[in-house]
A = this chain, B = another copy of it.
Amino acid sequence: MEGQPTDAVFTVTAGLVRAFRLLPDGRRQVVGFALPGDFLGLPRDAVHMFSADAAGHTTVCRVARRAFLELIDEHPDLLRRVHESAVRALDIAHDQMMLLGHRRAKTKIAAFLVGLRERWARIRSATALVPLPMGRQDIGDYLGMSISTVSRTLTNLAREGVILIVPNGVRILDLPRLTEIAKA
């Protein structure tokens, strides 16, 4: 499921999927992480690439693109929900653009963690523990920074007592402060 063109639509049922684009020189930009419940492959025929990934055997629900389009014709209400999903994705994308533009490593990481926490909270109930099934490299490609800086920044936040680094994730110790940093 590595680098297939979009001839199908997916829904994540468990785990986490990263969606990315490749640059001509081989580098990549992770354009989003899909959590359980999220749609994937909404964009039309554009050259989008995906990669299923990580976290306790990710599972997805796959629907042929053609079938999906027919389904929409029959149930106009479905289109509504798909559209809402797209709009929310656009919303997140805009937030992300804000992050990427105003570049301060600490801010980016903090905002990333806070945002992810909220998204997880909407699914599971756990609050303080934020799972990070993706690798440091993925986070870097998502936030537009090098793997080294991701690591450094995380350890700095840990040293300040704001977070605690645990296997495959992070435990937020001081959410108010983290939120504060995220806004700077």
Q: A residues bordering B, Cβ < 8 Å?
A: 21, 23-25, 27, 29, 31, 42-44, 46, 76, 79-80, 82-84, 86-87, 89-91, 93-98, 100-103, 141-144, 183-184
| Given A44-B84, A79-B83, A82-B83, A23:B98 Cβ within 8 A | yes
The complex places the Cα of A144 from the Cα of B97 at a distance, in Å, of 9
A29 contact from B21, B97, B141, Cβ within 8 A: B97
| Given A76-B76, A79-B83, A100-B101, A90:B43 Cβ within 8 A | yes
- Secondary structure at the A interface, as helix, strand, loop or mixed, is helix
A33 CB, min distance to chain B CBs, angstroms: 13
Q: Which residues of chain B are near A80, meaning CB under 8 Å?
A: 79
A74 CB, min distance to chain B CBs, angstroms: 11
Query: What number of copies of this chain does the assembly contain?
Result: 2
Q: Which residues of chain B are near A42, meaning CB under 8 Å?
A: 87, 90
Which B residue sits closest to A107, measured CB to CB? B23
Which B residue sits closest to A22, measured CB to CB? B98
The complex places the Cα of A87 from the Cα of B23 at a distance, in Å, of 21
Which B residue sits closest to A142, measured CB to CB? B101
The complex places the Cα of A148 from the Cα of B14 at a distance, in Å, of 46
| Residue pair B102, A27 in contact (C-beta under 8 Å) | yes
| Residue pair A43, B76 in contact (C-beta under 8 Å) | no
The complex places the Cα of A71 from the Cα of B144 at a distance, in Å, of 41
